[in-house]
Amino acid sequence: MKEESKKIPKFRNENEEFEFWSNHDITDYIDVSKARRAIFPKLKPTSKLISLQMPVYLVNQIKALANKKGIPYQSLTKVYLAERVKEELSTVNR
């Protein structure tokens, strides 16, 4: 028999919740065998506008690559940053 699930704490903000789930296993808190698929048609990802100073040559290179791929350069920049952060985190967590 499965032991009782732990109680999920209340979070003050999204960052606190992110930190918690980055270090805890959801199966300790929720019986996933009882989960149902949910649809959130109006859910938009949380994002934050930042200003970033970059060398002109680098911006131009990213724009050229994005143009070849047929996507906005801001989107390509986000993809590259996300991939690199994921790579760095995987080496840190080893």
Q: What distance in Å separates the CA atoms of residue 92 and residue 73, rounded to the nearest whole number?
A: 28
Mean pLDDT of 89-94: 82
Number of helices (H), then strands (E), in the chain: 3, 0
Residue ranges and CATH numbers for the domains of the chain are: 1-35 (no CATH), 47-94 (1.10.1220)
The 10s digit of each residue's pLDDT in 2-52 is 567 889 999 999 999 999 999 999 889 988 888 888 888 888 878 889 999
The pTM of the full predicted model, rounded to 2 decimals, is 0.52
